[in-house]
Structure 1
Amino acid sequence: MSEAEKPLAIRAADAPARQKPSNYPEPFASRMAGRHKHPLGDLFGLTNFGVNLTRLEPGAETALLHRHSRQDEFVYVLEGAPTLVTDTGEIDLQPGMCSGFKAGGLAHHIVNRSDRPAVILEIGDRRPGDSGEYPKDDLVAALGSDGAWIFTRKDGTPY
């Protein structure tokens, strides 16, 4: 997209949803049903960090429980009452609450256990050489040189 084609500003809720609902291989991709990501940073050509407006239907989750090796992440709750799940505990969130995750820190994800949709803003850097660890699943992710995630089992075999 050329500079002339990029918008100067948009209403975030009007941003197009991600074309592919999940990058995870099966059987993990289907666990992302009810998650709708709207990449906001990409619309403006941002390359150093990503921003997603993410809507979680009841029962949906942002991602598998994970931690990044190099990427810091930040989330801000706009609507609803999702639950932050980490490898050390859980906390119920409300609009206006936020949380951050340093690279290599707590494994985390957000689950919507309520009966109403939840909307969050997710922000993360795009540091080269990042990898993802999934403590509860037989999955490892490595960020390829092309920016695409490469998923394998923990023993290194491909999906």
Structure 2
Amino acid sequence: MKPVSIRADEAPLRTKPSNYPEPFASRMAGRQKRPLGDLFGLTNFGVNLTRLAPGAVSSLRHAHSHQDEFIYVLQGHPTLHTDDGRRRLSPGDCAGFKAGSGNGHRLINDTTDEVVYLEVGDRTRGDTAQYPDDDIVAEHDGVRWRFHHKDGHPYD
């Protein structure tokens, strides 16, 4: 049975810290995700309560072809890194990234305090993610993300 309600900060942590292959997965050290939407059986969109320790990043800077993304800062002062540059965020700030915009984005915790935020994204099939700063491309096959180099050969 799926719960009707829970305390978000008591939800189980995601069992696999990162879907990225190495050498990228280890760059996600200090990030913890609690997949809230999955607990309720949500299938059209995902919701994560995410914590970034000092020095941690939310992800590689990326842009989705088919999925919209939204973040809402609950605690701390992360730096939003996009194609437009870097901007400090505060609790209550939010940001959204329309599918297909090509605007690569991520959060960086370059402070000495923990950052906590909600991230929401839809689960549109056929999505791909481009990573402007790294030699990686992601494609969702309907079940999981598959990663390859920009020249097309897969990560092992």
User: Shared fold (TM-score greater than 0.5)?
Assistant: yes
Structure 1 moving runs of 4+ over 6 Å: none
Q: How far, CA to CA, are the matches of 1:153 and 1:77 in structure 2? A: 32
Which of 23, 27, 30 is the aligned partner of 2:23?
A: 27
Which of 9, 20, 25 is the aligned partner of 2:5?
A: 9
What SS does the aligned partner of 1:141 have? strand
Aligned partner letter, 2:124: R
In structure 1, the residue matched to 2:39 is: 43
Q: How far, CA to CA, are the matches of 1:120 and 1:104 in structure 2? A: 23
In structure 2, the residue matched to 1:69 is: 65
Which of 130, 143, 150 is the aligned partner of 1:133?
A: 130
TM-score norm. by structure 1 comes to 0.96
Structure 1 residue ranges without an equivalent (≥5):
none
- 1:18-70 C-alpha deviation (Å, 9 max, x unpaired): 00000000000000000000000000000000000000000101100000000
Q: How far, CA to CA, are the matches of 1:153 and 1:32 in structure 2? A: 19
In structure 1, the residue matched to 2:148 is: 152
Q: How far, CA to CA, are the matches of 2:141 and 2:9 in structure 1? A: 30
Q: How far apart are residue 104 of structure 1 and its match? A: 1.7
Q: How far apart are residue 88 of structure 1 and its match? A: 1.6
Q: How far apart are residue 87 of structure 1 and its match? A: 1.5
Q: How far, CA to CA, are the matches of 1:95 and 1:64 in structure 2? A: 22
| Amino-acid identity (%) | 62
Aligned partner letter, 1:83: T
In structure 1, the residue matched to 2:56 is: 60
Residue 88 of structure 1 pairs with residue 84 of structure 2: yes
- 1:107-141 C-alpha deviation (Å, 9 max, x unpaired): 10000000000000000000000000000100000
- 1:51-97 C-alpha deviation (Å, 9 max, x unpaired): 00000000101100000000000000000010000012111000000
Q: How far, CA to CA, are the matches of 2:110 and 2:83 in structure 1? A: 18
What SS does the aligned partner of 2:138 have? strand
Q: How far, CA to CA, are the matches of 1:43 and 1:137 in structure 2? A: 32
Which of 74, 77, 99 is the aligned partner of 2:95?
A: 99
Counting matched residue pairs gives 154
